[in-house]
Amino acid sequence: MKGVTKQNKTLKNKKNLFANKCNFIKGVASIEGLEHSSVPEVAFLGRSNVGKSSLLNAITKRSKLAHTSKTPGRTQELNFFSFGDEKPMMTIVDMPGYGFAKASKTKIAEWTELSRHYLSNRSNLRRVFLLIDARHDIKPSDEEIMSMLDNCAVSYQIILTKIDKIKDKNTKISKTQDSVKSHVAVHPVVYSTSSYKDIGLRDLRDAISSLVD
């Protein structure tokens, strides 16, 4: 009975992943700082100012998990957060933004190399969630990232942010799905979300929770 009770508790915690204890593990600024892990992991990636920090705070129900700022490129490391009470069940990684970050070319090159190494060598990485601002079409820099993810054979899924700013949501979702379907590693389902209007957050939480072993 004790084993069954423990199993039931684990299943309950899995279904309510974000109700579990959350810990900031570390920020990694170099390849040397990456450590091996067997804990299931998902990563969030997107252009600078796409609303990544706001979305992470919203889906985890923690207002200060990721620092939000009006300054593009604020996230300058791979930031690791673990969820789980008795032991880590899932790790969420907040990756540096790309696009128009206010940083030197040398610094941007370092972030790019770190991200590429992380994506290419992370065996426990279940999925990358690639954030796209719903108010804009997919940009060349987004295409570059998707090509990199394809080449790294990393499963990734598109999340449209700020969907509350769009009048015809269904058309936007369909257009986005059509525009990315040629990429070999992309998940066919596109999520649409709004951090401020609480749109699509439950579905996204369920999707992340389903990736827990």
Tell me the Ramachandran region of residue 133: left when phi exceeds 0, alpha when psi lies from -120 to 50, beta otherwise.
Answer: beta
Which strand (E) or helix (H) includes residue 25? strand 22-28
Is residue 48 within 8 Å of residue 73, measured between CB atoms?
Answer: yes
pLDDT beyond 70 at 90 = yes
Q: Is the pLDDT of residue 19 over 70?
A: yes
* CATH architecture, domain defined by 2-209: 3-Layer(aba) Sandwich (3.40)
What proportion of the chain, given as a percentage, has pLDDT over 90? 69
pLDDT at 211: 94
pLDDT mean across residues, the chain: 87
| pLDDT confidence bin for 69, thresholds 50/70/90 | very low
Taking the C-alpha atoms of residue 111 and residue 107, their distance in angstroms, rounded to an integer, is 6
Q: How many residues does the chain have?
A: 213
What's the pLDDT at 130? 98
Show me where the domains of the chain are located. Answer: 2-209
Predicted TM-score (pTM) of the model is: 0.89
Closest CA to 98 of 154, 161, 46: 46
pLDDT greater at residue 66 or residue 175: 175
Which pLDDT tens digit goes with each residue over 99-156? 765 667 777 788 889 999 999 999 999 999 999 999 999 999 999 999 999 999 999 9
**The pair of three-digit structure tokens given for residue 8, joined into one six-digit string:** 């039931």
- Whether residue 65 contacts residue 56, with contact meaning beta carbons closer than 8 Å, is answered with yes
Which bin fits 199, alpha (ψ -120 to 50), beta or left (φ > 0)? beta
Residues 6+ positions from 35 with CB-CB distance below 8 Å: none
Q: Is the pLDDT of residue 7 over 60?
A: no
Chain center to CA of 117? 17
Helix, strand or coil, per DSSP, at residue 52: helix
